[in-house]
Amino acid sequence: MTDTATRSINLLTAVPGPKSRELVARREASVVAGLGKATAIAVDHASGATVTDVDGNTYLDFVTGIGVLAVGHCPPEVVAAVQAQAAKLIHMSALVATYESYVELSEQLNAAVPISGPCKTLLSNSGAEAVENAIKIARAATGRQAIVAFDGGYHGRTLLTLSLTSRTFFKKKFGPFAPEIYRASFPYAYRMGLSEAEAVEESWAAFERMLIAGVDAEAIAGVIIEPVQGEGGFIPVPPEFLRRLREFCTRNGSVLIADEVQCGFGRTGTLFAIEQSGVEPDVIISAKSLAAGMPLAATTGKASLMDAAHYGGVGGTYGGNPLACVAAIATMRLIERDNLLGRANEIGQHIRQRASTWLKQQGRTALVGDVRGLGAMLALELVRNRETREPISAQETLSLVDQCVQRGLLVMRAGLYANCIRLLVPLIISDEQLDEGLDVLEEVLIG
């Protein structure tokens, strides 16, 4: 338990407080209703692992902007880099001219990705845009159209990326969707009620059936997969399944695309999650924690593939903005200097140790059925019955999230059935802060 003298959580009002309620009311009157919000608080400022709302209440942040802030809120080195850059050049557009930060960051990403041989990078604004770039490049390089995605996968909210995304909650009312997208079975061992090896065999058999009953192999331009599913519930892909995908893509002349928007940039204990499988993709997509909160994404891959798009065929007005680029360069330095990859593994081990007891305990309103993920990217799957693995409802999960917020801990749900609580703590969090947040989570889940 955390010593009260060292507590980071400090609640001065009811949550949400009056000023938060006022600002949220203004939001609801002026911003579209379809833009969801995980909490009812309004934020004033943040630092490190803490967030302070407009009422002066301070929370521990286990959401970090949905996995964006691996290096924490407002790291001084990143703030200084952005401030210095803002005084020199705020925008130019790489479509107009060349500037140092775009080139330097691309060089660093090309050297960092676990892909053999010369690589090249295309910068953009968001993960969804980077995914679209990867799909366009795969189609241009292969002369094919079909793309294979997976059950439970999440790749964005644009028309093409929503077509790739699995969960129907995000898709309803927005069709028709982009053609030539084919859905394959994902080896979700816990939900399938199988061992990892059995899940791989069953899902691979389904993949091979798809090649007969769904799409001809020779039509497949690329296969896109999250090495750790994010929105789907923080499910790592078994290495053997990734190995088979790699063999298929190599044999078939298809492009293997690793979507590391959420699981990349140190979150899992390696810079890229796919490194832990020993499998080499052809293209890697980065975003979220790449630039410490600045809007930036990258599509990085084999130069021979990345150069397949015709001159002028890719790009965007704001892609690789100078402020975002210097933020990413500073972020990469922080990750290396402070050994945040090692810290991610320490955090993950600590959370797993605490959560191991929850797997055996009776919860207040739900049971912890599974604890999974890689490094500091972990999720708790909540069920009614550990034998049947029946998921609790999305509304029940939201209630548990709200109870955490009421006690000063920001968390967020995830999962195909919205029955998971995702833990995306900043990698700069102290042991005391980590335990303080886990104490709150334990109180809400177990009592």
Residue 428 lies in a domain: no
User: For 86-109, what is the mean pLDDT?
Assistant: 98
Strand partners, 10: 58
Q: Write down the pTM of the prediction.
A: 0.96
- Number of domains present in the structure of the chain: 1
pLDDT in tens, 263-311: 999 999 999 999 999 999 999 999 999 999 999 999 999 999 999 999 9
Residue 326 lies in a domain: yes
Name the token pair of 390. 């029946």
CA distance 368 to 438: 14
CA distance 181 to 216: 12
Residue 284 lies in a domain: yes
CA distance 302 to 348: 32
Residue 171 lies in a domain: yes
Q: Is the Cα dihedral 328, 170, 283, 277 positive or negative?
A: positive
Residue 148 lies in a domain: yes
Instruction: Domain of residue 183: give its range.
Output: 92-337
> What percent of the chain shows pLDDT beyond 70?
99
CA distance 259 to 281: 10
Residue 213 lies in a domain: yes
Q: Is the pLDDT of residue 365 over 90?
A: no
User: For 110-135, what is the mean pLDDT?
Assistant: 98
Q: What is the CATH number of the domain that holds 177?
A: 3.40.640.10
Residue 76 lies in a domain: no
Count of beta carbons in the 10 Å neighbourhood of residue 212: 9
